[in-house]
Structure 1
Amino acid sequence: MRIAFLTAPEGVEQVELTEPWQAVKDAGHEPVLVSTKSGRIQAFDHLDKADTFPVDEVVGEASASSFGGLVLPGGVANPDFLRMDDKAVSFVREFFDGGRPVAAICHAPWTLVEADVVRGRVLTSWPSLRTDIKNAGGTWVDEQVRICDHGSNKLVTSRKPDDLKAFCDAFVRVFAESAG
């Protein structure tokens, strides 16, 4: 199963990309890096530049229907850039419209807020997003990992890098269950 990892060209928190990426590979699936521009993305370790990674597909040319799930890594700048890109927001919304599972960690739910897909859902995130999630009609909880089964798809969310093991275990399981 192909799993999309959506990031902006700059600002993704490296560990929130690399650990879920490895979890997808370890589960026998194919991770695919999707970004708003071709080339390479620049990851960060908090505020310091870290490694770069090659983009596999550009969001305007990618279709949610070709993926079994979507992972949204965090980092403060990454989701802020993504929520300002109409094609990225539409790509995220396509996963919800198509009933495909989505996983988001840390600040990544900002993109979900922009896509207007948190209404009626219970999720967690970095604590500073609590008000944004509530204002968008979602319910925010302070939990290591939250699986919300609302509507036709499941949403897996976590708060921060310390939650990565629980996050990866949960979304890999949910994605496999959704694949049938």
Structure 2
Amino acid sequence: MSHLTGKRVAILASDGFEESELLEPMRALREHGAEVDVVSPESGPIQGFRHFDKGQTVRVDRDVAEAQASDYDALVIPGGLFNPDALRHDEDAIRFTRGFFEAGKPVGAICHGPWVLVDAGVVESRELTSVPNIHRDLENAGARWVDREVVVDQGLVTSRTPKDLPAFCARLVEEIGEGRHAGQAASA
């Protein structure tokens, strides 16, 4: 299948991403024809983890300081404990993330990835899920947190952990392929 041909997707990550949560969505998106760039505040390869053990490194395609949401059709934010925590303190990463919501473009976030969405100020009144131990942060930011393998709310696709990756990847491909959220500015 190649129903994402012509679509360009950014995966926002830094050192400490959960390996499977970056590599599996990247593979699924590319298998469906999307062009995928790893966008990061780091330069050179970034270090993945398999929980607490070092995993693969991934090449960075673009510096987040130079990236614009308008260059892409969708955004994916993998989890891992260290990755989202570093990203949510990076102003360029927050600006980049917020741009996708302002343009009404699909966004996927898994595990700890929704932490970045909290700092971008885009979770209020949205239903989403995440790794359970950050649910209070999401609720405090105005989100309606639920414990399900995948949740879709106006183009925002969220999941809990690597075990949810098959459902996460399937819904992410579906949302990006539909493209019906493009141009629907999110209400802030």
Fold equivalence (TM over 0.5) = yes
Q: Is residue 162 of structure 1 aligned with residue 157 of structure 2?
A: no
What residue is the counterpart of 2:89 in the other structure? 84
Supply the distance in 1 between the matched residues of 2:170 and 2:123 (Cα, whole angstroms).
22
**1:37 offset after TM fit, Å?**
2.1
2:137 partner SS: helix
> Secondary structure, in 3 states, of the residue corresponding to 2:171?
helix
Instruction: Provide the rounded CA distance (Å) in 2 between the counterparts of 1:92 and 1:38.
Output: 19
Letter in 1 for 2:174: R
Counterparts of 1:31 and 1:78 in 2: how far apart (Å)? 18
RMSD: 1.0
- What residue number does 2:133 align with? 128
| 1:117-174 deviations in Å (ceiling 9; x for gaps) | 000100000001110011000000000000002xxxx100000000000000001000
Aligned to 1:37: 42
**Which amino acid in 2 is paired with 1:174?**
E
Aligned residues: 175
- Unpaired runs of 5+ residues, structure 2, are 1-6, 183-188
Distance 1:102 1:51 in 2: 24
Residue aligned with 2:156, SS:
strand
- Write the letter of the residue equivalent to 1:171: L
Alignment-derived partner of residue 105 in structure 1: 110
Is 1:119–2:120 an aligned residue pair?
no
2:26 matched to 1:25?
no
Matched with 2:79 is 74
Please report the TM-score for the alignment, with normalisation by the length of structure 1. 0.95
In structure 2, distance between residues paired with 1:37 and 1:62: 13
The answer to which structure has the higher strand fraction is 1
Residue 70 of structure 2 aligns to a residue whose secondary structure is helix
Q: Which residue of 1 aligns with 2:3?
A: none
**Deviation (angstroms), 1:53:** 1.0
- 1:7 corresponds in structure 2 to 13
TM-score normalized with structure 2 length: 0.91
The Cα of 1:55 is off from its aligned counterpart by 0.5
4+ long deviations beyond 6 Å: none
Sequence identity (%) = 49
SS at match of 1:60: helix
